[in-house]
Structures are given as C-alpha cells and as structure tokens.
Structure 1
C-alpha cells in the first residue's frame, strides 16, 4: 500500500514505520517520524551523563545524532526491538565523545583508557578493602606499573578543569583567596625600570647644551623655537643638535639590546 500523506504515516505503529523505511531509505517523512518517536531514548541516556563537565545540550546533540545513525542502520527483519539495538549505539557515541573531545588536555588514548580502568579499580578495591587504595595496589590489581598509574592519575586532571574561582586552600587565612589570585602576572614595571636606567646612563654621555635640549623637547614638551629663545641660540641649531642626539640615542639603544 502506497501512503504519501504524513498524517497517514503518523497513524502507523513503529514496526510498520520501520518496515516502510526499510523498503525505501529515501523516505524522509517516515525517517523524521521515527526520529521524533524515539527522541526519548536520547534524552534518557543523555541525562545519565549530566554533571560530568559537559553541558547537557552537547550530550543530547551527540545522542540525537547517534539515534539517527541507529535508525538508518536498524534492520527490522532481525526480530529484535529497536530500543535494544539503539541503546548501545547511543551510549557508545556518548562515551566516544567524552573520550575524544572532552579532555581539556590532549591525552594519549592509552592513558585515557587506563584512567577509566583505574577509576573502576578504585571502586572495587575500596569495596574489598574498606579503604582508599594506594597507586601501588591499583597497579598490582591492573597488572601495570606504578609509574603508569601515577601518569594516568595525573593526566585525569585534564578531563575536567578546576575553576580558578575555587578557594586555594582549606586554611582559614586562605579561605577568601582563589586559585586565580595565586596566578602570577607579567610585571610590566620591570621594562619601565630598564628603560629609565638606560635613559639616565645615556644622559650622562651628553654635554650641558644637549641635556637642556633633551629636557626641553621630551620632558617639558617645548618647541624648538622656545628652547632656542631660552638658551640663546638659533632654532636651526636646536634642530640640528636634536637630530644628532636622536641618532646617538638609537645607536646606544641598539648596543644595549
């Protein structure tokens, strides 16, 4: 039976829709209806991964794309329910997203996989021994070296970054100090001090007339004519001496750097 009306498709049950879709994969109307009817799977599975350092909307988007992928690949003739087929596909894509995309630092796949095993081992060992396991105990349990465990545990900090607004310590005197407060900043004043020291040394190489011109032009912001009147020389002489001073300053500065 050929149905072309969207309303008629919506009246069909899921199995009928999948049968139609299996016969014609280009039927976007049926495909969209199947997606809408099964979005609840993406929502339920996405909520299991809330509070793991990623926004729910991002996880849901990954789950939704995985759902569409599952719908396209589902074969109703196999006899099993779609939800049983789609769930592992969606969960697998979400885990892959966390593994490949979420780590703040680019950590080798080997370390990422070991970090997951360490997390599971911690839970098991804590249950068995009623205490938090040491790295050596975890290494023995997993059959790896202690160095590998320590490397993976350190790399795990790249999975979910710590906010710079968090308190820097538990001491009472540091309760109002955040991690961000302890991050050093570049001290621009050092450059100013170096420049001031260079200029002071350079001024010592000038004669009295040259010093008056430098102070008048670059510290008092006077014109060449005003300086010429103050000193009692021509404006042309001030201009010539100024150019000479600037050339000398450039040479001395190039030597210094």
Structure 2
C-alpha cells in the first residue's frame, strides 16, 4: 500500500485529475482475484473524493443536509469508478462528473419531495427550470405555461401539473432556524407558532366598533372617514363642511366621547337585559 499512498499524496494537490486515467489502466490489467486490485481501486476513490465533494457543494442550500449530499455524491463516485472502462478512449473525468451529478439529481428527484408525486411529473419538473431560464432570457419576462410546453414539446396540462407539483418539492422543518435579510439567526418556526398576532386585536376592535359607527349620523361618519381614512386635517374638513376648525375639533371630541360611553355601557346593558 505504500506505493499507492505515496502516489495518492502526490496527485491530490489542487483539483487536477490529469494523472487519474493511468490508474484505471492498472486496474484493468489486474485480475478480479488479485489482492492488489482492491488497493488500486481504493486509491482511485481516495484521489477522487474531492471531486465528489466539490460537486456536492454545488447543490448546497436546496433543502437537503450537506452530509447527505456528500454521501450521495460519493455513492455516485463509486458507481463511476466501477463502471468506467478505459477501452472506450474517454477520460475518467468526463465520465465521472455527469455520473456523480446524475446521482445527486436523482436523490433530489426521489427524496426531497414533501408529498408523493408521480415520477413522470418529477421528471417534467426537472426540465422546467432550465426551460424557464432560457425563455426568460429570450422573451425578457417570465414565460407562460403554454410557452414552456412549446419549448419542451410537451402538453400544456402536463407542464401545468408539474408547476403545481413543484410546490410540494420542499417542506421546512419546524426546528429549522431561519435567517433574516441581514443574515442574523432567528427563532425556529416552532418557536414562532402560537405567538400572539397583534393584528388579531385590531380585528376585534374593528368588529366591536363597527355597529357603533353605523349608528352615528351620516355627517359624523363622513367626518371620521375624512379624518382617519383620507388623513385630512381638521382645517381641511372644516373647509369642506363650511364650519370653523374649532367646531370640527369639538365634533370629533364629542364623537369619541359618545363611542367610548357606548362601548363601556354596552356590556352593562346586555347584562341588565339578561
């Protein structure tokens, strides 16, 4: 093994794999029963592990754990090493890269969907991304499903189904910690579930006040709309209805007092009626 280890350390510098092909000539020359064959195969795999890791890194951030990606890429590497035949005259690198990437893509296709989706729909979905990118550059806008279908030579319904199924591609873990726009780590999704939503209180207040507002005279309701919906000043409202700004201020004060009294008196009136 010392000869193989020395060759490995010498050939692992950088990302060059120019000297990997002669090792496959050695491997092919050894009989299946030769004990040196396993050692040569092991050294080939060791030299090419950085290649698999580099390919795995290209798929990071897509919803699958980094360690899982690395394992899948290494599995693709093993398949490439065992299936490569130098007799065909191609380099191992040109065979290994698409083999490893294909293994990783199959893992995404088969394992990363949140719900069960037919294989044909998954395969169509895998074609849609590159087609959208090409069409967007050509058209200067996002393409329609019919345009994507025409580009791929597929039925529009089939493409639409794949687009809809794409919503099932990934589900987030409740324990996943998310980052905000500044890259700061925030609470997990689970930690945020069940928290009080401030808007709920506003909805409750609006529902409680609505019947009281409807009971006001039309002129007073209009003043409230101008003041709080259209953000007019008291002087502008006064000009519209032909009174002074002070009169508008007194009118608003009177309206608020009446609404407050009705809101406080209503429960007592209901209890009295009961």
| TM-score past 0.5 threshold | yes
CA RMSD of aligned residues (A): 2.9
* Aligned-partner Cα distance in 1 for 2:21–2:153: 48
Is the counterpart of residue 63 in structure 1 residue 73 in structure 2? yes
* Structure 1 segment 64-83 matched on structure 2, within 5 A: 64-83=74-93
Specify every segment of 5 or more residues in structure 1 that has no aligned partner in the other structure, as ranges.
1-5, 168-177, 183-257
* Aligned-partner Cα distance in 2 for 1:34–1:113: 33
What corresponds to 1:9 in structure 2?
A: 4
CA distance 1:181–1:138, shift in 2 (3 Å): farther
> Deviation of residue 15 (structure 1)?
4.5
C-alpha contact 1:9 1:17 (8 A) present in aligned 2: no
* Aligned-partner Cα distance in 1 for 2:138–2:177: 33
> Deviation of residue 31 (structure 1)?
1.5
If the length of structure 2 is used for normalisation, what is the TM-score?
0.53
What corresponds to 2:135 in structure 1?
A: 125
Bigger shift: 137-146 or 122-131? 137-146
* Aligned-partner Cα distance in 2 for 1:144–1:134: 13
Bigger shift: 24-33 or 85-94? 24-33
Q: How many residues align?
A: 168
* Aligned-partner Cα distance in 2 for 1:74–1:133: 40
CA distance 1:77–1:10, shift in 2 (3 Å): farther
Is the counterpart of residue 147 in structure 1 residue 157 in structure 2? yes
* Aligned-partner Cα distance in 2 for 1:49–1:57: 12
Give the secondary-structure state (helix, strand or coil) at the position aligned to 1:68: helix
* Structure 1 segment 134-213 matched on structure 2, within 5 A: 134-162=144-172, 180-181=193-194
Deviations 1:34-92 (A, max 9, x none): 11111111011111111111112111111111111211222233333221221121111
If the length of structure 1 is used for normalisation, what is the TM-score?
0.56
What corresponds to 2:31 in structure 1?
A: 24
C-alpha contact 1:70 1:89 (8 A) present in aligned 2: yes
> Deviation of residue 25 (structure 1)?
3.8
What corresponds to 1:94 in structure 2?
A: 104
> Deviation of residue 140 (structure 1)?
3.9
> Deviation of residue 181 (structure 1)?
4.9
* Aligned-partner Cα distance in 2 for 1:151–1:166: 31
What corresponds to 1:243 in structure 2?
A: none
C-alpha contact 2:21 2:91 (8 A) present in aligned 1: no
What corresponds to 2:95 in structure 1?
A: 85
Deviations 1:91-143 (A, max 9, x none): 11111111112212111111112212222222122112211223333334444
* Aligned-partner Cα distance in 2 for 1:147–1:74: 40
> Deviation of residue 166 (structure 1)?
10
Specify every segment of 5 or more residues in structure 2 that has no aligned partner in the other structure, as ranges.
8-18, 179-188, 196-274
